[in-house]
Amino acid sequence: MLRGFTTVSFFADDVPAATAWYTEVFGIEPYFVRPVEGPPAYVEFRVGDYQHEFGIIDSRFSPHGRSEKPAGAVIYWAVDDARAAYHRLLAMGATTHEEPTERGPGFVTASVIDPFGNILGVMYNEHYLGVLEARAGA
């Protein structure tokens, strides 16, 4: 049975630069760093209310090789204000993938391409807060 997501992994040609960028995005340092001769080949952060794992892997280990176009699934991170998060990421050097869009009452999504070619999504989802409240009451 599936129990939920464990680790989301992005690829970067420059893991130290990606680590620095995501350290600023998340406001925390990675908790795990795996060097492979020279700069780290893998770093991992624990992020948010559920301590989801976010990894950055050196592109040389990508199963599909490096592409100039952004690739992969869009993972949406829960935020309190999708528009503000989107504009902050743009100010940090990301580029637009999809501008903030209201998907219905209580749902706003947006996505950017990080400086390393990955798609990073943000979402305000009113149901996310309900999950947190239910967990707190359990």
**Cβ proximity of 44 and 52 under 8 Å:** no
pTM above 0.85? Answer: no
CATH topology of domain 73-138: 2,3-Dihydroxybiphenyl 1,2-Dioxygenase; domain 1 (3.10.180)
**Cβ proximity of 46 and 6 under 8 Å:** no
Are 1-60 and 73-138 in the same CATH fold? yes
pLDDT in tens, 57-84: 988 877 666 566 665 668 889 999 999 9
- CA geometry: angle at 58 spanning 53 and 64, to 5°? 95
* Region 1-60: CATH code: 3.10.180.10
Residue 25 DSSP SS3: helix
> CA torsion 6→132→73→17, rounded to 10°?
-70
Q: Which of 56, 10, 2 is nearest to 30 (CA)?
A: 56
pLDDT in tens, 83-133: 999 999 999 999 999 999 998 888 899 999 999 989 999 999 888 878 778
Q: Judge whether residue 54 has pLDDT over 90.
A: yes
Q: What confidence score (pLDDT) does residue 133 get?
A: 84
DSSP state of 59: G
List C-alpha distances in Å: 64 to 35, 60, 72, 103: 22, 10, 10, 31
Q: In the chain, where are the structural domains located?
A: 1-60, 73-138
